[in-house]
Each structure stands twice: as structure tokens, then as C-alpha cells.
Structure 1
Amino acid sequence: MKNHRLLPIIALCTLLFACGNPQRKTNDKKADVRAHIQNNGIPISYTDTGKGDTTLLFVHGWCINKSYWADQAAYFEKRYRVVAIDLPGYGQSGKNRKAWDVNTFATDVNAVIDQLKLKNVILVGHSMSGTIVLQAAINQPDKVIGIVGVDNFKGQGTPPQTTAQKKEIADAIAAMRKDFKQVASQWFNEGLFYKTTSKAIRARILNDVAHADTAAAIGSMEQQAYDDVPNLIKSKKKLYLINSDYQPNDTTWLVKNKIPYKLLIVHNTGHFPMVEAPKEFNVRLDEVLADMKR
């Protein structure tokens, strides 16, 4: 039986979390570059494969890293340049930072675009990185030609306003500071997995959560909890969403805010469609890319 006191916290976390494929590592060790990419002195680890005049730039979510896009890299690198990054605080990127807000993370994405001299960039952001790639697109409208969210923007259209909502967030942060591993693991088990999520994927996610940098993880949640999504979506570009349907996709707020969008569904997965059903996810992303060309 679920602990109903955790349900509001789970709803918040749904916007922030991410996971990966337990059976795939980076598709090419030679492409796993740490090298020269930096933003404000923080090194940014990345992979860079494939060729093409269009770049797919993948940005992970909470507590995981760039290797979790391996299935997408292997599939799309035949036709596109494919870059995947570790956001600072995660994976192999630097962690000596105190700012974990959307604006700061967006400048990390922009630094990768600039320093790798990427052109015609399509940003793909899972979970918490949905708002990050939106802000990065706003920062570089001349270089970013498309935005794809993965299991995000499912109805949370405005930041918390009421005293009760703000208290729920404060309680969530306090609980994490007290026992990060136990609380975060319980959130995943109760709110983000689906009945079809394999034991291997569940184990991989929970292991990554257990070994996350807690300063970065808690800071990411705390500083991003008050994002005003309607005000953020000002890029004038169509918002593509590749979402699962284990939770409802309420698009009324997108319509209300006159945000152009297209929603594509990967059925029978949890919060992590790109790894729970990678073949179907890749088909949906192909559909997005074809629509962008039209």
C-alpha cells in the first residue's frame, strides 16, 4: 500500500527524475570524451558520434548520466551527429558548483553547443531537463532548431503558489537531507516505475540514486521546484513531447498558454520510455524529426 503522504512529493519528482538502460554502456568508448569542454571552470563530459548537418543533443535527467542514451546514439548516429552530455554534478562532469537552477544548467548546454561548434541542434531533454533544454533554446535561437521533451510537461504548468504547496516542497527537501537514499528510492518505487518496468532497470536506477552526489541531486530539486513553465516557453518553437502514459498527459495548460505542441505516446512503460522501450521510442523520435523537416 502506498504511503499517501508521499504522493505530492512523487508528483514533484516526476518532473525531475531520469533513468537508463542496465544492459548498455556507452556505444563507443573512443567517443567518450572529457577533454576541453568547460563552463565557468566546470568540466563537462560528453560523447560525440556520427556525422551530419543536424545534431541531436541529448540531456539526461536526475541522478543519471549520458550513457543512458546509448540506444538512441547507436540508432541515430547513422544519419545525424549525436552528442550526449553529463550535466555538472552528474556522471563524469565536475561537481564543484553551488548553483543547480535551470538557467545555470542551460548555460552548460549552450557551452557544449558553442565549443563543439554544433549547428542545427535538436535538443532532447528527459524529465528535469525539459525546462533546461527549453531555456537553452531560448538562449540560442539561431542554433537550436527543435525541442523534444521526454516524459515531462504532463500537466505541471505553473510553479507552486499556495502555502500548502510550498510546504510540501520544503518537506520533500527536508526528508531528502535526512535520509536521501531511502527517501529517493521510495519515490521511485512508488511513483515512477510501471508494472512493465523490468527488475534489471529498476535495480540500475536505484543503484544510481544511491550513488548520486547528494549536493547536486538535492540542489537540483530545490532550485528547480519553482520554475514557471509557461513563462519559460517563449522560444516560438513547437514543443514535441515523447511521453509514456502510466500517468495522464494533461495538455490543457499547453492549449491555455497557446504553446504549439505535438504529443507522441510510448505505451506500457514507466517514466523512462527511452530505455524501457528503446525501439518504440526511437520510432517516435523519428516521427518527430520527420515532422520537423515538414
Structure 2
Amino acid sequence: MLVIDTPEPHSRGVATSSDGVDIPYQIFGDGPETVLFVHGWCCDHSIWGDQIAALCSDYTVVALDLASHGSAGKRQNAWPMSSYVQDALAVVKAVNRPSWALVGHSLGGVLVAMLAAEMRAETAAVVVVDAIKRPDQTLPQQDADAMLDYLSVDWPRNVPAWLAEAAFTNKTSSEIVSYVERALGSADGTTAVEGLRDFLAQDHAKLLDAIRDIPVLLMNGAPPAPSADFFDAFHPDCKLVEFEGAGHFVMLERVEDFNRCLREELPKMFSAHLNESSPASREVLI
């Protein structure tokens, strides 16, 4: 069984989202720069435990639970991405730090790209983990609707088969598969399906174009992933790191490589923000 050990937080708090939902967060470490971790669909902050442990000695690390996830309050009958952005923005305002690296996985990756556009001056870096795809890699609306219908018919029964096809590779360990299946299988099916619906509708190219003045690091499983050349037209400072053989849950499947990459790249991105300079786009395979 996969066990993720999250360090004991220095403090805890609860922010209030724009619609009144309680959004709990935890703070680890007390470094001068701040890293926000946003979990993905049907998960919670604990999925980032290994990354929190790797960074909290050098940074102030903040991790939250989005509405209707983990220990957060429940949101009724509305699950647009914009509401999740407001959840994260409420935490940022409550913690009140001057400079942030925003790290998000999957739905959380799209969320942090949207969040950065709302807090441009405070955002030093955006790290998107296996969320941004080329237009030809996104699901056509008809296929997305069919997938959502399939999941909604019998969520606990159908989600494992869907995950096997969509999220894992033949190198993904059985422990990680079981961990993710438990997390998603225990989620509320309606919340899960409706939250996924708006996530799938997002235009990734437009998301990155809207934050073209902020350094972006894409950390993707490989294959498939967009090539770095794909981003040049609409984001001049985007670096792509691909983790060979990893599936969707890169931070679980390649923990040491993933954490090493974060430790190497975050200082550069914070420094570039401070000095208002940017490196050229690059592509790396790990």
C-alpha cells in the first residue's frame, strides 16, 4: 500500500471562498518565498506530501483542499473552474505573502494557470503538472460527453477501468494504481463528473497566452505530451520537462526526479521574477 507521509504543518487556517465555502489550508516551513500546491480532480492536499517534505526546509509551502474535496466545505450544484480559482485565491489572500510559485496537478494545473492571471504581480512562477495539452490531444466534445456519461452511470465501478486507460502506463506500480483508485472511487460521483466537465472544456492555448508574461514550467508524463515548439507562438517563457514512462500522476510515479526538478527550477524562476528576466523556452526528457 502506498503511504505518503506529509510533514506536520507549522500552522493551519480556513479561508472563505467567494461563495462562502470553507477552504482549509496548511502551512509548512517559513522560507522567504512561497509555494502553493493545488491538488487535482477528486484528490486532496495529501497527494503532495512528498513534495511538501522536499521543499518546506527552503520555502514557505501552502497546501489546500478545494471545495468538495478533502476536508473542505461542500459546494452545491455548481462546479465551474472559476469557483475553484476563487477557492485558491481566498487562501492566497488569507496567507498574504508577496511572491508565489503556483503548482497544480491536472485540474489543479489548469486552475493555477487561471489563478496566475488573477494575481499577476505576485506570481513568480506557474508549474503545471500533466494538464496542458495540444488542441489535437484534447477530447472532442462528443467524446467528452460520452466519457462523462459512462462515469456517471456507476461511478465507483467504472472509474477504475477509465483510469487504467487514461491515467496509467504499464510502468505505473500497483501501489500507485490502488492509491488513486481509492481516492477517486471514494469521491462523490456527481461532484466528480460535473467538476470534470468544465475542466475538459478549457482552452489550454488561451490559458497560457493569458499569462505569457509569467514563467511557466510544464512537468508531464511522456508520452504523449506537447512539444516545446507548440508553445512558442503564445508563450515565450515556457519550459517543458517530460518524465519518460510516467503516467498522469507524475509526482507519485517519479518522486525523486520530480522533486529534484522542482528544487532546480523554482530558484531560477523566483530569481527571474525578482530580476524581471526570463530564460528561453526549452524541452527536457528525464
Same fold flag (TM > 0.5)? yes
Gaps of 5+ in 2: 273-286
1:1-294 matched pairs, under 5 angstroms: 22-28=2-8, 30-31=9-10, 33=12, 35-39=13-17, 40-156=19-135, 165-233=140-208, 234-235=210-211, 236-292=213-269, 293-294=271-272
TM-score by length of 1: 0.84
Distance 2:237 2:189 in 1: 36
Higher relative contact order (CA 8 A, sep 6+): 1
**Per-residue CA shift, 1:72-105, capped at 9, x if unaligned?**
1111110000011111111111113332222111
Provide the secondary structure at the position in 2 that maps to 1:187: helix
| Cα shift readout 1:101-133 (whole Å, capped 9, x = no counterpart) | 221111111110001112211000111212210
Asked if the contact 1:159/1:228 (under 8 Å) is kept, the reply is no
Residue 10 of structure 1 is matched in structure 2 by none
Distance of aligned partners of 1:232 and 1:246 in 2 relative to their CA distance in 1, 3 Å threshold: closer
Which stretch shifts more, 89-98 or 259-268? 259-268
- How far off its partner does 1:274 sit? 0.9
Q: Secondary structure at the match of 1:240?
A: strand
Query: How far apart are 1:58 and its partner, in Å?
Result: 0.4
Question: 2:4 is aligned with what amino acid?
Answer: R
Tell me, in whole angstroms, the C-alpha distance in 1 between the residues paired with 2:248 and 2:138. 21
Q: Give the 3-state SS of the residue equivalent to 1:184 in structure 2.
A: helix
CA contact (8 A) 1:120 1:143 kept: yes
Structure 1 189/103 Cα, relative in aligned 2: closer, same or farther at 3 Å? same
Give the aligned CA root-mean-square deviation in angstroms. Answer: 2.1
Decide whether the 8 Å contact of 2:134 with 2:204 is kept in 1: no
What's the offset of the Cα at 1:151?
1.5
The alignment partner of 1:44 has SS state of strand
Mapped to 2, the partners of 1:97 and 1:290 lie a distance apart of 40
Contact map agreement 2:103 2:126 (CA 8 A) in 1: yes
Unpaired stretches in structure 1, ≥5 consecutive residues: 1-20
Residue correspondences, number: 268
Amino acid in structure 1 at the alignment position of 2:75 = N
Q: Cα distance, 1:43 vs. partner?
A: 1.0
Q: Which letter does structure 2 place at the counterpart of 1:109?
A: A
Q: Call closer, same or farther: CA 1:94–1:32 in 2, change over 3 Å.
A: farther
Quick one: distance in 2 between partners of 1:31 and 1:24? 18
Flag the 1:206–1:264 CA change in 2: closer, same or farther, 3 A. same
Q: Which amino acid aligns with 1:245?
A: A
**SS of residue paired to 1:26:** coil
Counterpart of 1:289, as a letter, is L
C-alpha deviation, 1:249, in angstroms: 3.2
Structure-2 change in CA distance of 1:139 and 1:103 (3 Å): same
1:247–1:157 Cα change, 3 Å: closer
| Rounded Cα–Cα distance in structure 2 between residues aligned with 1:176 and 1:73 | 32
CA contact (8 A) 2:37 2:63 kept: yes
1:251 & 1:146 partners in 2: Cα distance?
Answer: 17
Provide, for residues 176-218 of structure 1, a one-character-per-residue CA deviation record: whole Å limited to 9, x for no partner.
2211122221111123112221111111111111101222211
Given the superposition, is the C-alpha separation of residues 197 and 143 from structure 1 closer, same or farther in structure 2, using an over 3 Å criterion?
A: same
* 1:258–1:121 distance in 2 versus 1, CA, 3 Å: closer
